[in-house]
Each structure stands twice: as C-alpha cells, then as structure tokens.
C-alpha cells in the first residue's frame, strides 16, 4: 500500500529528461480511456510543438519515486494543463488535486489571464476535479473517422505542397475562429515531417500525416475567406481521396462542435465515440 500523501513532495519537470518523463507519463495514464505508450522522442515532439514549459510542470514524488505529473504549456499570458496523470496506486488520494492547485496558483502568480485544459467527456471524475478548482466548460471537441473503401472520386485537379510554416501563417491570417491549442497556428507552425501541407489552387488547404500509411490523420482543413462557399473544400477532399484510396482517415477529438461535422458527413466521416471538453479558468483582474 502507498504511504500517506503527506509524504509527497514536488519537483519541476525540467529536472527530468524526456526518457524519464515518458516513463512517468505512461505510468500516470495506465488504464486510461485510450492506450498511451509514449517514447521519449514522441513526448519531446509533443512538448516542442505545443510550447511546453517544463519549468512550470510538476512531478509528484513519494520520497524518490515519481508518482504523478502535471505538464504545462504556455504562450503569452495564457497557459494550459496539457497532461495530468497519477500512478494507479495513488489515485483518489488527492495527488491530482495538489498538482492542479500548484499549477493554477503559479499561473495566477505570474499574471496569466487564463489557464485551460481538455478532458475526455466520459472522464467524469477528472471533470469534477477541474470544476471544483474553478474550471468551466467552454466547448465540446469532436473527432471523426472515415473507414477505408474503394473511392468513387475521380478528380483531375492537382494538390500542391505548401510549407508547414506557410500553412500556419495562412491559417493565422484567414481564421476568424479561436481554435483549440492543438489546432492553433502557433502549434501547427512547429510541426515537421512526416506531416505535410497540401493546397488546391491556393484556395483550400489541408494538413495531413504520412499519406502512405494505411491510416492517415487530418490535422487541419480550411478555405480562404474569399473562396468560401465555392466548392473548394469539397474539391480538395475529393482530390485527396482519389490520390490516396483505401485509406482510413482520422481526425483527433480537437475540432470545436459545430465547425465541421455537417461538411464532413458528406464524405461519410462519422463522429468518434471519444470526445473532449475544453475547459478554462479565468483570473479576475488579469489583462491580455
């Protein structure tokens, strides 16, 4: 049996290398809603693209043994809890509460305007923890999947490559929606191969994973404001699917509800069972 949580201490995540952090992460997310088994390289990539501040992240310790982590990303006056997990033997003992309290207090002390996070909708216990600590639901985030099939599309259009940084810059100029952290142009601009950007006539844009794989992720999809309602997004997907038939296409549950589901349903995308809630804690008196 684990010792009393009174013996718990806290260390900055910066004191651990990525191999150690990945091990702590995987232990903290054992028996999670989706299987998680990060490598040091995968975790480093996530931290780099999402602006992780390991100096603000917290590792909970029982003497010399890590038993939980709370990682934080930061941009400007905003911060975000992008991962919080506790080793199975220590769950339900207030470890998560202590880590969250410290992260929220630190964000307020440094003058942040808000701290946000995402929680799986079905994770009722975690949601109650966040609500108890002042977080409120901002919106629901959906995921989608399209199973592999013989494609009926036969497009003569050509998709041209677009540099990932240029993709992000165009999205920043064209978007009028406040996008979730993972879809924010600042995040997308940090991505590297095998992610790749494609565009149709410099009007419609899509960001995808390795298209040679049997299952391909779609990370972002948008049309320039001046080209909306002219069929460019439809032609882009028709061309993409005809170029890479017999693929399963996946979109992670980070898409704001009401943004794309009507359009995607026309291409037989179905919502995934897994969805998330985006939550935030505003600090009164803070200024952007």
Question: 54 and 96 share a domain?
Answer: yes
Each of the 288 residues of the chain gets a pLDDT tens digit; together they read 445 556 899 999 999 999 999 999 999 999 999 999 999 999 999 999 999 999 999 999 998 999 999 999 999 999 999 999 999 999 999 999 999 999 999 999 999 999 999 999 999 999 999 999 999 999 999 999 999 998 888 778 899 999 999 999 999 999 999 999 999 999 999 999 999 999 999 999 999 999 999 999 999 999 999 999 999 999 999 999 999 999 999 999 999 999 999 999 999 999 999 999 999 999 986 544
**Domain that includes residue 23, residue range:** 5-112
Provide the whole-model pTM: 0.94
Angle at 31 between CA 34 and CA 15, to 5 degrees: 90
The values of phi and psi at residue 211, to 5°, are -75, -10
Question: 152 and 236 share a domain?
Answer: yes
Question: 173 and 223 share a domain?
Answer: yes
pLDDT on residue 284: 81
The answer to whether 29 and 85 have CB atoms below 8 angstroms apart is: yes
pLDDT on residue 4: 52
Question: 151 and 225 share a domain?
Answer: yes
Q: Is residue 90 part of a domain?
A: yes
Instruction: Kindly tell me the sign of the dihedral angle through the C-alpha atoms of 71, 75, 80, 82.
Output: negative
Question: 104 and 33 share a domain?
Answer: yes
Structural domain count of the chain = 2
In this structure, what CATH number is given to the domain that contains residue 65?
A: 3.40.630.30
Question: 172 and 266 share a domain?
Answer: yes
């Amino acid at each position: 049996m684990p010792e009393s949580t009174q013996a718990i201490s806290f260390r900055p995540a910066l004191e651990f290398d990525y191999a150690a952090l990945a091990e702590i992460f995987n232990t903290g997310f054992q028996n999670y809603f989706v299987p998680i088994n990060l490598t040091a390289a995968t975790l480093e990539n996530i931290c780099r693209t999402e602006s992780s501040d390991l100096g603000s992240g917290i590792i909970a310790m029982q003497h010399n043994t890590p038993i939980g982590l709370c990682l934080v990303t930061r941009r400007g006056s905003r911060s975000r809890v992008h991962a919080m997990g506790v080793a199975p033997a220590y769950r339900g003992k207030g470890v998560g509460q202590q880590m969250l309290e410290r992260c929220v207090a630190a964000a307020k002390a440094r003058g942040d305007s808000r701290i946000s996070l995402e929680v799986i909708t079905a994770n009722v216990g975690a949601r109650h923890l966040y609500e108890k600590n002042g977080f409120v639901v901002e919106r629901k985030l959906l995921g989608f999947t399209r199973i592999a099939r013989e494609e009926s599309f036969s497009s003569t259009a050509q998709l041209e490559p677009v540099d990932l940084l240029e993709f992000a810059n165009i999205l920043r100029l064209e978007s009028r929606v406040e996008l979730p952290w993972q879809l924010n142009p600042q995040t997308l601009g940090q991505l590297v191969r095998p992610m790749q950007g494609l565009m149709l006539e410099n009007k419609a844009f899509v960001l995808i994973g390795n298209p040679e794989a049997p299952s391909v992720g779609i990370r972002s999809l948008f049309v320039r404001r001046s080209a909306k309602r002219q069929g460019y997004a439809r032609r882009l997907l028709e061309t993409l699917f005809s170029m890479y038939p017999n693929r399963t296409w996946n979109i992670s549950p980070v898409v704001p509800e009401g943004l794309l589901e009507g359009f995607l349903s026309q291409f037989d995308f179905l919502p995934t069972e897994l969805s998330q809630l985006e939550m935030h804690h505003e600090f009164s008196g803070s200024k952007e």
